[in-house]
C-alpha cells in the first residue's frame, strides 16, 4: 500500500512538474522548454556568427548526430554575405554541449557554379548515400528573386559533397527556398517555400514528387496562406511528419511555428491550424533511436542565435502507427 501511494505521489509530482515546464500543450502534442545546445558565438567576442535553418542527420554506423545549416555573421550584411556557407557540427547525443565543430560543409561558388546563396539544407539518407537539397539562389545573383535554384549535393560520408551535374533540379520564386523531403509510400515529396507567382503574391508551400530523388514532377501548390508578400512570410521552413493516416505540417511564421493537420500530404488548408509554438523558428522534428521525439529551433531573429532543442510528446494516439520519421 505504501509503495502504491509513493508511486501515485511520484507520478503526480512528475505530472505537475511537466505541466509547469511545458512550452506548448494541446490535444495533439506537448512541447517542453528549449535548451540551447550549440551557438557559433560561444567564446567569440569579435564578429560572432549564428545558425539559421538547419537539418539533422543521424550516422547509424558511427552513432553520431550531425547538423548542417545556414551560418553567417550576427550582423548580417546581405550584400557581403547573404548566406554563402553551410555550418557542420556533430555530437554523440542531442543534448551534448557544445557540439563538435567541423569545416563548412559547403561554400557557394558563384563563379564556377552560379550559386549566389546556400540556404536551408535538407538531407536524406538513402541506399548508403546522403542526398542534400539546398536553395542555391539565382544564377543572376542573390538579388534576382524570381528564379531561385533548388540544387542537389551528394555525399558518402557527410564531409565531401559532390554537386549533381544536372543542377538545378528546378527554379522558382519568390526566393524559392527551405526544401524538406518525406518518403510517402513509393514516392518522395519535396516541400518548399514559395509564392503564388515568382514575383510575389500569396505565401504558399509548393511541392514536387519523385520516384528516385533525381527526377521531379511538375510543381504542385499544397498550401496557400491568405497573407501576401515577398520576403519572409508565414510559410517558411516547412517540415511535414506522417503519423498513421495523418500529416502534420510545421511552418515558421517569424518567431513562432504554426502547425496544420491534413489527411492528404499534397493538400493542407489554413483552416486546419491546430497549434502555435511560440519562440520556435525553422524547426525540425527529431526522433532518436529510443523512440523519443524532440523539436529544434534556430535563427538570428530570436536574439539567441544558437541551436535549441526541446522534448516533444505526441498525444494523438498514433504512437503505434507507422510514421515518416526515423533516427
278-304 pLDDT per residue, tens: 999 999 999 999 999 999 999 876 567
Lowest mean pLDDT: which of 14-23, 37-46, 151-160, 264-273?
Answer: 14-23
Output phi, psi for 45, to 5 deg.
Answer: -105, -30
Please check the confidence at residue 200 and state whether its pLDDT lies above 80: yes
Please check the confidence at residue 10 and state whether its pLDDT lies above 50: no
Beta bridge mates, 56: 67
pLDDT at 45: 73
Consecutive H or E run containing 31: strand 29-31
pLDDT at 21: 65
Contacts of 160 (CB under 8 A, 6+ apart): none
pLDDT at 8: 39
pTM over 0.75? The answer is yes
pLDDT at 76: 84
**Mean pLDDT over residues 237-258, rounded?**
98
**Mean pLDDT over residues 305-319, rounded?**
97
pLDDT at 74: 87
Please check the confidence at residue 9 and state whether its pLDDT lies above 50: no
Q: How confident is the model at residue 23 (pLDDT cuts 50, 70, 90)?
A: confident
Please check the confidence at residue 12 and state whether its pLDDT lies above 70: no
Tell me the pLDDT tens digit for each residue of 209-224: 999 999 999 999 999 9
Q: Domain spans of the chain?
A: 34-314
Q: What is the mean pLDDT of the chain?
A: 93
pLDDT at 3: 43
Tell me the pLDDT tens digit for each residue of 110-148: 999 999 999 999 999 999 999 999 999 999 999 999 999
pLDDT at 239: 99
CA distance 176 to 198: 8
CA distance 27 to 274: 9
- DSSP state, 138? -
Q: What would be the CATH architecture of the domain defined by 34-314?
A: 5 Propeller (2.115)
Contact in structure between 231 and 254 (CB atoms under 8 Å): no
CA distance 277 to 259: 8
Please check the confidence at residue 44 and state whether its pLDDT lies above 90: no
Beta-sheet pairing, 256-262 with 246-253: antiparallel
260, three cell numbers: 496544420
Please check the confidence at residue 2 and state whether its pLDDT lies above 70: no
CA distance 190 to 184: 11
Q: How confident is the model at residue 16 (pLDDT cuts 50, 70, 90)?
A: very low
Contact in structure between 106 and 120 (CB atoms under 8 Å): no
pLDDT at 302: 59
Contact in structure between 189 and 138 (CB atoms under 8 Å): no
Per-residue CA distances from 171 to 36, 45, 106, 234 (Å): 35, 39, 20, 21
- DSSP state, 113? H
Amino acid at each position: 500500500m505504501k509503495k502504491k501511494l509513493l508511486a501515485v505521489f511520484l507520478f503526480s509530482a512528475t505530472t505537475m512538474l511537466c505541466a509547469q515546464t511545458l512550452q506548448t500543450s494541446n490535444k495533439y502534442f506537448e512541447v517542453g522548454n528549449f535548451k540551447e545546445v550549440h551557438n557559433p558565438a560561444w567564446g567569440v567576442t569579435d564578429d560572432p556568427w549564428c545558425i539559421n535553418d538547419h537539418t539533422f542527420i543521424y550516422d547509424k554506423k558511427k552513432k553520431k548526430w550531425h547538423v548542417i545549416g545556414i551560418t553567417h555573421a550576427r550582423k548580417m550584411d546581405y550584400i557581403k554575405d547573404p548566406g554563402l556557407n553551410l555550418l557542420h557540427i556533430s555530437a554523440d547525443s542531442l543534448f551534448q554541449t557544445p557540439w563538435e565543430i567541423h569545416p563548412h560543409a559547403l561554400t557557394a561558388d558563384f563563379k564556377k557554379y552560379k550559386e549566389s546563396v546556400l540556404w536551408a539544407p535538407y538531407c536524406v539518407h538513402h541506399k548508403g548515400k546522403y542526398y542534400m537539397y539546398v536553395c542555391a539562389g539565382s544564377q543572376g545573383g542573390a538579388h534576382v528573386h524570381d528564379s531561385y535554384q533548388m540544387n542537389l549535393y551528394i555525399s558518402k560520408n557527410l564531409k565531401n559533397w559532390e554537386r549533381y551535374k544536372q543542377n538545378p533540379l528546378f527554379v522558382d520564386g519568390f526566393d524559392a527556398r527551405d526544401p524538406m523531403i518525406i518518403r510517402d509510400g513509393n514516392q518522395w515529396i519535396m516541400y518548399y517555400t514559395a509564392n503564388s507567382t515568382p514575383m510575389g503574391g500569396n505565401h504558399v508551400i509548393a511541392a514536387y514528387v519523385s520516384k528516385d530523388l533525381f527526377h521531379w514532377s511538375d510543381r504542385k501548390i499544397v498550401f496557400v496562406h491568405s497573407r501576401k508578400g515577398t520576403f519572409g512570410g508565414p510559410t517558411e521552413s516547412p517540415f511535414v511528419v506522417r503519423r498513421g493516416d495523418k500529416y502534420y505540417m510545421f511552418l515558421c511564421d517569424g518567431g513562432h511555428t504554426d502547425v496544420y493537420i491534413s489527411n492528404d500530404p499534397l493538400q493542407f488548408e489554413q483552416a486546419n491550424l491546430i497549434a502555435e509554438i511560440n519562440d520556435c523558428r525553422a524547426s525540425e522534428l527529431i526522433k532518436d533511436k529510443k523512440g523519443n521525439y524532440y523539436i529544434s529551433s534556430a535563427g538570428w531573429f530570436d536574439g539567441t542565435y544558437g541551436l535549441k532543442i526541446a522534448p516533444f510528446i505526441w498525444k494523438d494516439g498514433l504512437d503505434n502507427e507507422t510514421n515518416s520519421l526515423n533516427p
